[in-house]
Amino acid sequence: MTTPQPTDSPGPVAELGEFLRSRRDRISPDEAGVDSYGRRRVPGLRREELAQLAGVSVTYLTRLEQGQSQNASEAIIEALARALQLDDDERAHLASLAGARSRPRSLPTSPPEVAKPGAEQLLHAMGEVPAVLLGRFNDVLAWNRAGHLLLAGHLAADAPSRPEDRPNQMALLFLDPHTRDLHADWADEAARAVASLRFVAAQWAHDRRLAELVGTLSVRSPEFARLWAGHDVRLCTSGTKRFRHPEVGELELGYEVLHLPEGNGQRILTHTAAPGSASSAALRLLLSAS
């Protein structure tokens, strides 16, 4: 299949406008403390209402939403975030979009990521803790034996070592039937994954690899396209996931995302079971039976 090219994908300035419009549509006049009069043609705040709340002109906000302005100050961004009642992740995402310059005509292609040796060593030292080393755009750079057996036992164990066709966590989630069946709460997992990718996208807006990944998933998965268009943003670092593993049945595992200090986007995803739980026994069974 030919990979969709990113030449027509929006740059960060357009992304800023789209994000502002999506958040404006989401908040009601009552939530924003605005008196509402007459019949409304929009589900959320009118543009002039947001402008008044943020203390900017309607003309300026219009230019910002239409991607015609590239110089929003930190004070304006903070005022808009406050008026839209953004949470911490959304505020950080808005600030990243506002700080990004317009996209160059030709998107650079970053070289294939290489797993940090120390991180990969830590991964394998975790033993029975399923762990995966992810790249900035969710490419699987490495996994330990437990992580491979839990998440992708149907793939070759050495798949992450081949940059030309290594697995991508997002692509697996939306395009791979095994991975879809593995997640008992697939819809929640999918929404969480896309919201997290949205957060990352603002920080690496000029990378062709990101544009190609989003383009491919948007074409091949209507569910991804719908979630991506929603502009939800969330930096997910911990929580609980439920799995339906084909070999050991149901598991409920806590997950933690450990970001490497270099700030290059690489992070370790770990999964643990409560001591003495049925899920802990199932994990041991999975490792002993394989």
Mean residue pLDDT of the chain comes to 85
Q: Mind listing the pLDDT tens digit for each residue in 28-62?
A: 888 888 776 666 676 788 888 888 888 788 888 88
Give the length of the chain. 290
Q: What are phi and psi of 60, to 5 degrees?
A: -65, -45
Answer yes or no: CATH 3.30.450.180 is held by domain 117-289: yes
Residues of the chain within CATH 3.30.450.180 domain(s) are 117-289
Mean pLDDT of 109-120: 84
Number of other residues whose CB lies within 10 A of the CB of residue 81: 22
Mean pLDDT of 147-162: 96
* CA 140/CA 143 separation, integer angstroms: 7
Give me the long-range contacts of 149-155 (CB less than 8 A, separation at least 24).
149/286, 149/287, 149/290, 150/243, 150/245, 150/271, 150/283, 150/286, 151/179, 151/182, 152/178, 152/179, 153/247, 153/290, 154/178
The pLDDT of residue 108 is: 56
The pLDDT of residue 120 is: 92
Task: Judge whether residue 3 has pLDDT over 80.
Answer: no
Q: How confident is the model at residue 201 (pLDDT cuts 50, 70, 90)?
A: confident
Choice between 252 and 68, residue whose per-residue pLDDT is larger: 252
The pLDDT of residue 104 is: 45
The pLDDT of residue 229 is: 84
Q: How many CA atoms lie within 13 A of 77 on its CB side?
A: 20
Choice between 235 and 118, residue whose per-residue pLDDT is larger: 118
Residues of the chain within CATH 1.10.260.40 domain(s) are 12-99
The pLDDT of residue 100 is: 55
Mean pLDDT of 221-249: 92
Give me the long-range contacts of 218-224 (CB less than 8 A, separation at least 24).
218/4, 219/4, 220/174, 220/175, 221/174, 221/175, 223/174, 223/190, 224/170, 224/174, 224/190, 224/194
The pLDDT of residue 105 is: 41
Report the range of poorest mean pLDDT among 14-23, 31-40, 214-223. 31-40
Domain 12-99 falls in which CATH fold? 434 Repressor (Amino-terminal Domain) (1.10.260)
pTM for the complete prediction? 0.72
Task: Judge whether residue 265 has pLDDT over 70.
Answer: yes
CB 152 within 8 A of CB 160: no
The pLDDT of residue 7 is: 39
Report the range of poorest mean pLDDT among 120-129, 196-205, 229-238, 265-274. 196-205
Choice between 58 and 287, residue whose per-residue pLDDT is larger: 287
